[in-house]
Amino acid sequence: MTDPNCIFCKIAAGHIPSFKVFEDDVVFAFLDIGPLVTGHTLVIPKAHYPTVMETPPEVLSAINARIPALSRAVLAATGAKACHVLVNNGSEAMQSVDHLHYHILPRKPGDSFRIPWNAGTLDKASGSSLAESIKSELAR
Ligand code: 5GP
Ligand code: ZN
């Protein structure tokens, strides 16, 4: 379950060096080479899955089981008290490496990191039809 052309598969296998912070049988965590903030950490499955949509629930469970301790450790090491845990799924969602990865991004008051969050307004009609459409997809 690895892709010979995938940079994160090579990092998880130790064929490309990284600043590793954690490893078990399923999960690998390491510092991002292009940090958006100090402490920017990536958490990946060792096996190659492109996005959450293809990843088996048990692999997601193994990653999620490690996220609290990893986040606490990143926060403690950087002196931050808050963080984003963020996954980009697909190129339109800003995914550039095609191997599932969770970003842990510690945040501090006054830091320069920004996520544009241009909230719209959900009206009753479109909310209702969209929720119905998602529910029927789930029931398929
Ligand atoms: P994405 O945009 O796909 O959600 O994030 C990919 C992340 O992987 C980026 O933050 C980028 O800096 C990081 N990255 C890409 N190549 C490497 C690498 O070779 N080593 C490490 N440590 N991080 C990488
Ligand atoms: Zn991979």
**Catalytically annotated residues:** 101
Counting runs of H as helices and runs of E as strands, what totals does the chain give?
3, 5
32 Cα–ligand 1 center, Å: 6
- For residues 40 and 127, give the distance between their C-alpha atoms in angstroms, rounded to a whole number: 35
140 Cα–ligand 2 center, Å: 30
- Name residues of the chain where pLDDT drops below 70: none
Beta bridge partners of 27: 45
Residues 87 and 52 sit within 8 Å (Cβ to Cβ): yes
Q: Which ligand is nearest to the CA of 101?
A: 1
pLDDT in tens, 75-114: 999 999 999 999 999 999 999 999 999 999 999 999 999 9
Residue 76: predicted pLDDT: 98
Q: What is the largest CA-CA distance in the chain?
A: 53
Residue 78: predicted pLDDT: 98
The string of DSSP letters for 76-95 reads: HHHT-SEEEEE---SGGGT-
The one-letter code for the residue type at 24 is D
The rounded percent of the chain whose pLDDT value lies above 90 is 99
Q: Which ligand is nearest to the CA of 8?
A: 2
Place of tokens 């991002």: 32
Q: What number does the ligand 1 atom closest to the CA of 34 have?
A: 12
Q: What number does the ligand 1 atom closest to the CA of 95 have?
A: 3
Instruction: Answer whether 0.95 is exceeded by the pTM.
Output: yes
